[in-house]
């Protein structure tokens, strides 16, 4: 657990298009529905999580870049959203230059850790990472208590995990010995597709209990919700996507309770 304050979970996979941002937004909303105070930190220069939660691009005066650079504290960088108990630290394309701008900082891998591990009102902080094992993602993993990996149900899905898991082992041996794997969640699953079923079978065989029981289906409502700047739990509360992310939130809470018990 983060000391003091929130439990910090990085949502990462260096492969793009696997549902990281969708998971960050909707898992955050699912946890918030349980009454937890949730903060989503948008660490992707694309800023899609910020847009998906209704923060317009010209309305982000303080961002995660300012947090990393030490120009703003967590309270100053945080914005409320229209979803109860869910706040966000927004991102802009300024983050694209972070790897270069911060490279000479001796604490460059610990900048986010210092900014987030403070006394805050949040129960859980989720970090939406960019699709690369960059300095930004390394900052997230050094700051985090745990890593949650969205894994798209497609061919070669498991192959992309090897470098990420190697990075986790290296960080455990260095700057973040307490980092653990919160779990792997299968995303974009189409039960009508034999390949998706095979990928799920392979993932469970190779990763065992690391794979969440909950799977996230392909669902048109999940795709539509960001264009309305709302989590799917709010956009279409009875959709299969909404039910899936509620189930994932409940399973994550149960797993955490089990580890603390």
User: Exposed, middle or buried, 110 (CB in 10 Å: 0-12/13-18/19+)?
Assistant: middle
pLDDT in tens, 186-205: 999 998 888 888 989 999 99
Which of 11, 9, 10 shows the shortest CA–CA distance to 216? 11
Give per-residue pLDDT as tens, 26-62: 999 999 999 999 999 999 999 999 999 999 999 999 9
Give the strand order in the sheet containing 86-89. Answer: 79-80, 86-89, 38-42, 124-128, 7-11, 146-152, 180-187
Residue 158: CB atoms within 10 Å: 15
pLDDT range class, residue 256, cuts 50, 70, 90:
confident
pLDDT exceeds 90 at position 106: no
What's 11-63 look like in SS3? ECCCCCCCCHHHHHHHHHHHHHHCCCCEEEEECCCCCHHHHHCCCCCCCCCCC
Residue in this structure with the two tokens 């470098």, named with its chain if needed: 163
Q: Please give the Cα distance from 72 to 70 (Å, whole number).
A: 6
Q: How many CB atoms are closer than 10 A to CB 173? A: 9
Six-digit token string for 31: 């946890």
pTM more than 0.85: yes
Per-residue pLDDT, averaged over 84-98, amounts to 96
Span 147-199, pLDDT tens digits: 999 999 887 888 878 889 999 999 999 999 999 999 999 999 998 888 888 98
- Separation CA 93–CA 58 (nearest Å): 12
CA distances in angstroms from 96 to 14, 93, 99, 133, listed in the order given: 16, 5, 7, 13
Please state, for a pLDDT cut of 70, what percent of the chain lies above it: 97
Residue 260 has pLDDT above 90, yes or no: no
With beta carbons less than 8 A apart as the criterion, state whether 159 and 13 touch.
Answer: no
Stretch among 49-53, 124-128, 159-163, 229-233 having the lowest mean pLDDT: 159-163
Angle 123-127-128 (CA atoms, 0-180°, nearest 5)?
Answer: 140
| Residue 5 predicted with pLDDT over 70 | no
Model pLDDT, residue 82:
95
What are the beta bridge partners of residue 39? 87, 125
Instruction: Give residue 135's pLDDT.
Output: 95
The pLDDT assigned to 261 comes to 44
Which 3-state string (H, E, C) describes 130-163? CCCCCHHHHHHHHHCCEEEEEEECCCCCHHHHHH
Three-class SS of residue 101?
helix
Which residue's structure tokens are 């270069």? 100
């Amino acid at each position: 657990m983060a000391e003091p304050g929130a439990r910090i979970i990085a949502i990462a996979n260096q492969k793009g298009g696997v549902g990281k941002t969708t998971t960050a937004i909707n898992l955050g909303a699912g946890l918030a529905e349980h009454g937890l105070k949730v903060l989503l930190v948008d660490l992707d220069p694309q800023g899609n999580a910020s847009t998906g939660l209704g923060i317009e691009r010209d309305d982000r005066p303080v961002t995660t870049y300012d947090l990393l650079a030490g120009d703003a504290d967590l309270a100053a960088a945080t914005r409320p959203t229209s979803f109860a108990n869910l706040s966000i630290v927004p991102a802009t394309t300024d983050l694209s230059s972070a790897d270069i701008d911060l490279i000479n900082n001796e604490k460059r891998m610990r900048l986010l850790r210092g900014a987030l591990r403070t006394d805050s009102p949040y129960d859980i902080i989720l970090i939406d990472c960019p699709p690369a094992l960059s300095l930004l993602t390394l900052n997230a993993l050094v700051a985090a208590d745990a890593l949650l990996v969205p894994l798209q149900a497609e061919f070669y899905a498991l192959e992309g995990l090897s470098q990420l898991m190697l990075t986790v082992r290296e960080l455990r041996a260095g700057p973040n010995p307490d980092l653990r794997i919160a779990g792997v969640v299968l995303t974009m699953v189409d039960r009508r597709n034999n390949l998706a079923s095979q990928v799920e079978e392979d993932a469970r065989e190779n990763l065992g209990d690391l794979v969440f029981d909950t799977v996230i289906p392909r669902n048109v409502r999940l795709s539509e919700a960001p264009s309305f700047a709302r989590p799917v739990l709010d956009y279409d509360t009875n959709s299969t996507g909404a039910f899936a992310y509620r189930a994932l939130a409940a399973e994550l809470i149960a797993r955490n309770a089990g580890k603390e018990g």
